[in-house]
């Protein structure tokens, strides 16, 4: 049983600087790829959400079945979660008419409920203590809610709050710097800081993604969503390769 658990624990990557760089690339890719399917391909938010949800559930299924950490499988599951998070947040905020602030509040509640339920059932919400399929389900559920929340927060800060894309980048980079300072300068729970950082990297990626592909008259660079997604995917693959070489 001990050997089985140790193999399962190794299914998640070490949280290093390269982990966070890969995560930011993945969340930015989620924004551009999600918009490419829902907007550029004119499939709409709901249909796109069903497509990405199916892909995500498939990756989660194979992720849970695996008994070792497989870098490409793990990160493509992250990518799938961030793309479905993009289209789902847009559907909640725009199609349902809840608005960015209302959608952010709803999704934050879901993240907190997921973490609370996880803690009540397992006694921990550590992202490193993934030693049972049930914990993995909580892990990926929390990640999906956080990715969706991040999209809504990114849209809220750049649009409703009037910060624009540049202002949004400075806001979330500043908040991440605060988390780094708390990590190195205080004894605040590393688990709490991890989830705070995990959530905040998503709106950063959302704002950067929007900056890349939105029209110039809306403050963006008007780059092709497909081209931007391709470049970001290559960057993710390079990061995964480097992480394998380092480990």
Other Cβ atoms within 10 Å of 212 Cβ, number: 23
Decide if 127 contacts 191 (C-beta within 8 A): yes
Decide if 154 contacts 34 (C-beta within 8 A): no
- Residues shown for the chain: 247
Under 8 Å CB-to-CB from 127, ≥6 apart: which residues?
12, 15, 139, 191, 194, 195, 198
| Token digits of residue 44 | 């709409």
pLDDT of 81:
93
Q: Is the pTM of this model over 0.85?
A: yes
Decide if 188 contacts 182 (C-beta within 8 A): yes
Q: What CA dihedral angle connects 206, 191, 53 and 200, to 10 degrees? A: -10
- The DSSP line for 9-47 is HTTS----HHHHHHHHHHHHHHHHHHHIIIIIT--HHHH
Mean pLDDT of 88-93: 85
pLDDT of 218:
74
Q: How many CA atoms lie within 13 A of 187 on its CB side?
A: 0
Under 8 Å CB-to-CB from 138, ≥6 apart: which residues?
114, 117, 118, 121, 122, 125
Q: Has residue 4 got a pLDDT over 50?
A: no
Per residue in 171-191, pLDDT tens? 999 999 999 999 999 999 999
Q: Has residue 75 got a pLDDT over 80?
A: yes
Q: Has residue 8 got a pLDDT over 70?
A: no
Q: Has residue 1 got a pLDDT over 50?
A: no
Q: By three-state DSSP, how is residue 127 classified?
A: coil
What mean pLDDT is reported for the chain? 87
Q: Has residue 5 got a pLDDT over 50?
A: no
Under 8 Å CB-to-CB from 192, ≥6 apart: which residues?
none
| % of the chain residues with pLDDT over 90 | 49
- Separation CA 199–CA 134 (nearest Å): 21
Q: How many CA atoms lie within 13 A of 131 on its CB side?
A: 14
pLDDT of 10:
55
Backbone angles phi, psi at 165, to 5 degrees: -70, -40
Q: Has residue 135 got a pLDDT over 60?
A: yes
| Token digits of residue 58 | 């498939």
> Using 50, 70 and 90 to split pLDDT, how confident is the model at 143?
very high
**Better-scored residue on pLDDT, 221 or 240:** 240
Per residue in 192-216, pLDDT tens? 999 999 999 999 988 998 888 777 8
Per residue in 106-134, pLDDT tens? 889 999 999 999 999 999 898 887 778 88
**Better-scored residue on pLDDT, 104 or 52:** 52
């Amino acid at each position: 049983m001990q050997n089985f658990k140790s193999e399962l624990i190794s299914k998640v990557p070490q949280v290093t600087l390269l982990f966070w760089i890969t995560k930011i690339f993945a969340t930015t890719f989620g924004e551009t790829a999600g918009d490419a399917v829902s907007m550029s391909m004119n499939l709409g938010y709901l249909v796109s959400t069903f497509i990405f949800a199916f892909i995500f559930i498939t990756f989660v299924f194979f992720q849970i079945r695996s008994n070792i950490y497989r870098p490409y499988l793990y990160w493509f599951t992250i990518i799938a979660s961030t793309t479905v998070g993009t289209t789902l947040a847009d559907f909640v905020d725009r199609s349902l008419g809840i608005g960015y602030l209302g959608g952010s509040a709803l999704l934050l509640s879901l993240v907190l409920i997921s973490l609370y339920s996880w803690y009540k059932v397992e006694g921990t919400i550590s992202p490193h203590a993934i030693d049972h399929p049930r914990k993995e389900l909580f892990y990926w559920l929390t990640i999906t809610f956080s990715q969706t929340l991040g999209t809504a927060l990114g849209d809220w800060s750049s649009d409703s709050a009037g910060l624009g894309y540049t202002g949004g980048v400075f806001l979330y980079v500043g908040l991440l710097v605060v988390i780094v300072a708390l990590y190195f300068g205080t004894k605040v729970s590393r688990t709490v800081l991890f989830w705070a950082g995990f959530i905040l990297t998503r709106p950063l990626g959302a704002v950067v993604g929007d900056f890349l592909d939105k029209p110039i008259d809306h403050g963006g660079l008007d780059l092709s969503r497909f081209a931007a997604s391709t470049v970001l995917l290559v960057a993710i693959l390079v990061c995964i390769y480097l992480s394998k070489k380092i480990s």
